């Protein structure tokens, strides 16, 4: 059953493009109390640490972003349909830029896509492919000057759909980004239905 469902999965980019083009959203975790809890924590980190700019790898439909308080923001997404939604939604907001992002044909050693903080909100467990998972994490950490924020599960033993693959990501950071440490981890309160926690990494 599991294999059959996986074989029907069209790939991450196609899956999300089709979903957004059919009027679907970024998911329940980007709406309602879950989104409000995440925004409260991340907005607090940004304000307390005087973060000057944020780059978001996987901005989605922009509903989570509508609650964000960031001085300057760049949203990237693998799905061009998601980026078009955000461009329309934030057309009057001069602090937010958006870019459709194909990691397979982009490289940024000169740091044009870098920011004070990089952000990954419920993207990691949607990366079913090992190569994409590792490439995404490398780009996420290489896009940040001071802080990286990750909202994700960090374990494999969770129920998952064909477009999901929950797995630990903190061991990858420990092995591959030695200069980064977890400054804070915040778990959702018991009345918030979310498998993800929020992690704040700091460059040491």
Ligand X SMILES: C[S@@+](CC[C@H](N)C(=O)[O-])C[C@H]1O[C@@H](n2cnc3c(N)ncnc32)[C@H](O)[C@@H]1O
Shortest distance in whole angstroms from residue 186 CB to ligand X: 16
Token code pair at residue 31:
């709406």
Please, which residue, 56 or 116, has the CB nearer to ligand X? 56
Shortest distance in whole angstroms from residue 151 CB to ligand X: 7
Token code pair at residue 185:
């981890």
Q: With CA atoms as reference, report the closest residue to 121 among 52, 191, 63.
A: 63
Answer yes or no whether residue 153 interacts with ligand X by CB under 6 A.
Answer: no
Answer yes or no whether residue 58 interacts with ligand X by CB under 6 A.
Answer: yes
Contact window for ligand X (CB under 6 A) among 57-65, 163-171, 176-184, 190-198: 57-65
Read off the DSSP letter of residue 145.
E
Please report which residue ranges of 65-195 form alpha helices under DSSP H: 80-89, 130-142, 170-176
Token code pair at residue 112:
């044009």
In contact, 74 and 115? CB cutoff 8 Å: yes
Rounded to 5°, angle at Cα 89 from 85 and 92: 140
Answer yes or no whether residue 126 interacts with ligand X by CB under 6 A.
Answer: yes
Give the total of residues touching ligand X (CB under 6 A): 24
What is the footprint of ligand X within residues 16-55 (CB under 6 A)?
16, 26-27, 30
Which residue ranges make up the site for ligand X (CB under 6 A)?
Answer: 12, 16, 26-27, 30, 57-60, 64, 76-79, 82, 101, 103, 121-123, 126-127, 132, 136
């Amino acid at each position: 059953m599991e294999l059959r469902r996986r074989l029907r999965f069209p790939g991450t980019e196609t899956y999300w493009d089709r979903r957004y083009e059919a009027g679907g959203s970024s998911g329940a975790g980007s709406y309602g109390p879950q989104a409000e809890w995440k925004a409260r924590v991340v907005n607090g980190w940004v304000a307390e640490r005087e973060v000057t700019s944020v780059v978001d790898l996987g901005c989605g439909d922009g509903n989570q972003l509508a609650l964000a308080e960031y001085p300057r923001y760049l949203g990237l997404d693998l799905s061009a349909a998601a980026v078009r939604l955000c461009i329309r939604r934030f057309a009057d907001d001069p602090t937010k830029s958006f870019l459709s992002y194909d990691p397979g044909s982009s490289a940024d050693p000169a740091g044009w896509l870098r920011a004070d903080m990089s952000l990954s909100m419920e993207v990691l467990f949607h990366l079913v492919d090992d190569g994409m998972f590792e490439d995404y994490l490398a780009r996420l950490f290489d896009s940040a000057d001071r802080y990286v924020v990750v909202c994700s599960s960090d374990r494999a033993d969770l129920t998952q759909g064909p477009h999901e693959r929950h797995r630990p990501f903190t061991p990858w950071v420990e092995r591959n980004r030695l200069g980064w440490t977890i400054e804070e981890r915040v778990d959702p309160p018991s009345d918030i239905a979310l498998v993800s926690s929020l992690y704040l990494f700091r460059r040491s």
